[in-house]
């Protein structure tokens, strides 16, 4: 007799299952495994402790004699590489399908907006953001030195070692500017101007040693009879990101004009480029809004403008900085910039709502149509028309990174005649860019601007190093700006004017402005002399004496007959 390993019930020697619980009964063991010899489950290969009746991993009964588990097989490296490559290919395929899906399954109206966004809007918004960041900079410091020369040896003798200098320091609402005039190596005039918390100061050492200060608010009240809180006037601090966000909010509303009901898409269409010449086959989108589309968009603009606190906050900074209540007197009799601004904006909102339907009908009756043509995801043509006599067209050919560069043309048609033609050729290679822009106005002439610049190097004014030339075909004048590293530090901004005109006294005039990144402007060390208490006549006498000294000591010395003139 044997014992069931599950319930302990006695079972016959030849029984295969327990008659009590149904548990399989292992065959009789001839001999237990040798001490120290590892035992493995014959079903799953799990290593078992000596004397184990059932595998703890899979529950299979333990056989009486078990062979050691087979040695692990070596990994198939080629197979692993193949699986990894297949996984990468699958990911790439998903990415391609997703990209194609974004084009193939995105509605024509969204594609129409997307192409314009990439070609025009993003570029304009980048410019808005850059300008905003530059204007919002809290500080600026630089030493500026202006020199010049002409094609006259005698005059150049006086201009040599002559310069106008300005050491400028701007931080928050404070300004310090040290100026000087040097003539043939001798400083003939210098001065300092300061401004801090509504107090204006100035010093002219060649006149006297005093450092005069005056409260600008009190001065303006004496002159105009109007109270101005100058101390609370602060320079607007508006970041480029804020300006961009503001513009994008209104653009998103304008985009609502475009929908699947007013945009048609045609694939494999042949498109001619009458301006640049040639043709291509691509996808054409045609946008024709209804009067209702325009009216709804204008109503949304009015609703947004009525509640736009961000716009109000930004605009109010400018108004308070300029104390410009008087500018808005035409809109309101309110006494504060905030109230005047609110009245002006609400008037604009009412005007939009009152004329929304009229504007919508006018657009529809003008047969307004906007056509966009794309080749291989590259915008090649945009044509906006209002009837047959008025419109705007844009054409493009090539890539900016190609050896042949990219050509672009913008033409404006008014009353059936061309009113403006803009042509641009350019090439970009990394940070280097070169090209030419020509603007032509019929019956007026044309102007060509050429440039070759490196955007990785910029002067303190944010101008990339390079050459910029402005010329007018048919006119005897050319202006060139060169921006490069100065010999003694800073960046040189050299403007050269060449002319062959009979009426000009010089064939060329060259002016150079050297600007350093950082300056050393300082306030006068003297104790300030407050002139707020001076009467009007006393103030006039002070100004007269300063002007008289400058006239006698400086201007007269610059007239012919002095310094060998």
Q: Residue 326 above 50 pLDDT?
A: no
CA distance 557 to 483: 34
Domain membership of residue 47 (yes or no) is yes
CA distance 280 to 215: 68
Residues 251 and 292: beta-carbon distance below 8 Å: no
Domain membership of residue 275 (yes or no) is no
Q: Give the mean pLDDT of the chain.
A: 80
Residues 58 and 37: beta-carbon distance below 8 Å: no
Read off the pLDDT of each residue in 533-556 and give the average, rounded to a whole number: 79
CA distance 418 to 439: 12
Radius of gyration of the chain (CA): 41
Structural domain ending residue among the three candidates 13, 44, 72: 72
The residue among 350, 287, 342, 270 whose CA lies nearest residue 311 is 342
> Which of 45-54, 114-123, 256-265, 503-512 is the most confident on average?
256-265
Domain membership of residue 44 (yes or no) is yes
Report pLDDT digits (tens) over 421-470.
999 999 988 899 999 999 999 888 899 999 999 999 999 998 999 999 99
Domain membership of residue 35 (yes or no) is yes
CB burial of residue 179 (10 Å; 0-12, 13-18, 19+): middle
Report pLDDT digits (tens) over 199-235.
899 998 888 889 999 887 777 776 666 665 555 556 6
Q: What is the pLDDT of residue 45?
A: 66
Longest dimension (CA), the chain: 143
Do 40 and 17 lie in one domain? The reply is no
Separation of CA 519 from chain center: 28
Domain membership of residue 57 (yes or no) is yes
Task: Give residue 39's pLDDT band: very low, low, confident or very high (50, 70, 90).
Answer: low
The residue among 512, 467, 510 whose CA lies nearest residue 490 is 512
Do 48 and 37 lie in one domain? The reply is yes
How many domains would you assign to the chain?
A: 3
> Residues 150, 154, 158, 164: what is their CA dihedral angle, to the nearest 10 degrees?
-10
Is 193 in a helix, a strand, or coil? strand
DSSP string covering 30-56, please? SSPPPTT--EE-TTT--EE-TT-SB-T
Residues 257 and 278: beta-carbon distance below 8 Å: no
Domain membership of residue 539 (yes or no) is yes
Do 42 and 64 lie in one domain? The reply is yes
Do 559 and 549 lie in one domain? The reply is yes
CB burial of residue 76 (10 Å; 0-12, 13-18, 19+): exposed
State what percent of residues in the chain have pLDDT above 90. 41
Domain membership of residue 13 (yes or no) is yes
Structural domain ending residue among the three candidates 14, 43, 72: 72
Q: What is the pLDDT of residue 111?
A: 94
Domain membership of residue 59 (yes or no) is yes
Place of tokens 């109230």: 339
Do 37 and 54 lie in one domain? The reply is yes
Structural domain ending residue among the three candidates 41, 72, 103: 72
Sign of the CA dihedral running 34, 36, 42, 43: positive
Q: Residue 263 above 90 pLDDT?
A: yes
* Domain carrying residue 24: 1-30
């Amino acid at each position: 007799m044997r014992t069931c390993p599950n319930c302990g019930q006695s079972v016959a020697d030849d029984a295969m299952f327990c008659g009590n619980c149904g548990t399989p009964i292992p065959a009789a063991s001839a001999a237990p495994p040798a001490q120290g010899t590892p035992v493995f489950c014959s079903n799953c290969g799990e290593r078992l402790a000596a004397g184990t009746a059932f595998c703890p991993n899979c529950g299979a009964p333990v056989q009486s004699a078990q062979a050691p588990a087979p040695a692990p097989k070596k990994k198939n490296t080629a197979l692993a590489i193949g699986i990894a490559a297949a996984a990468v290919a699958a990911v790439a395929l998903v990415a391609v399908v997703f990209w194609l899906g974004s084009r193939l399954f995105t509605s024509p109206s969204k594609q129409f907006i997307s192409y314009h966004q990439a070609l025009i809007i993003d570029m304009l918004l980048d410019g808005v953001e850059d300008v905003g960041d530059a204007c919002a900079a809290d500080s600026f410091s630089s030493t500026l030195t202006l020199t010049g020369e002409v094609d006259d040896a005698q005059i150049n003798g006086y201009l040599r070692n002559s310069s106008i200098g300005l050491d400028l320091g701007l931080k928050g609402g404070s300004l310090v500017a040290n100026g000087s005039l040097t003539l043939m190596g001798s400083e003939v005039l210098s001065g300092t101007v300061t401004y801090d918390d509504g107090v204006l100061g100035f010093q002219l050492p060649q006149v006297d040693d005093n450092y005069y200060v005056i409260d600008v608010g009190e001065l303006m009240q004496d002159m105009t009879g109007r109270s101005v809180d100058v101390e609370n006037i602060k320079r607007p601090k508006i970041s480029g990101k804020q300006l961009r966000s503001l513009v994008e909010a209104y653009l998103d509303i304008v985009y609502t004009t475009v929908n699947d009901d007013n945009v048609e898409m045609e694939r494999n269409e042949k498109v001619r480029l009458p301006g640049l010449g040639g043709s291509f086959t691509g996808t054409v989108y045609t946008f024709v809004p209804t009067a209702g589309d325009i009216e709804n968009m204008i109503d949304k603009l009015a609703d947004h403008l009525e509640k736009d606190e961000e716009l109000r906050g930004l605009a109010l900074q400018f108004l308070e900085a300029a104390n410009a209540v008087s500018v808005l007197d035409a809109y309101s009799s309110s006494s504060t910039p905030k109230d005047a601004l609110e009245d002006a904006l609400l008037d604009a909102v009412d005007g939009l709502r009152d004329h929304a339907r009229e504007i919508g009908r006018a657009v529809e009756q003008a047969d307004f149509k906007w056509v966009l043509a794309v080749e291989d995801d590259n915008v090649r043509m945009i044509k906006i028309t209002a009837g047959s006599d008025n419109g705007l067209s844009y054409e493009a050919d090539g890539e900016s990174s190609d050896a042949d560069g990219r050509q672009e043309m913008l033409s404006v048609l008014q009353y059936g005649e061309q009113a403006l033609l803009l042509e641009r050729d350019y090439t970009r290679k990394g940070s280097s860019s070169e090209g030419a822009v020509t603007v032509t106005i019929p019956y007026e002439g044309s102007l060509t601007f050429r440039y070759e610049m490196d955007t990785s190097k910029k002067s303190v004014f944010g101008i990339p190093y390079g050459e910029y030339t402005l010329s007018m075909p048919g006119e005897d004048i050319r202006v060139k700006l060169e921006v490069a590293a100065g010999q003694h530090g800073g960046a040189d901004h050299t403007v050269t004017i060449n002319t062959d005109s009979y009426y000009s006294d010089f064939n060329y005039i060259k002016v150079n402005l050297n600007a350093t990144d950082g300056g050393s402007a300082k306030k006068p060390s003297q104790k300030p002399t407050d002139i707020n208490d001076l009467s009007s006549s006393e103030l006039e006498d002070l100004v007269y004496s300063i002007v008289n000294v400058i006239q006698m000591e400086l201007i007269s010395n610059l007239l012919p007959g002095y310094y060998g003139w």
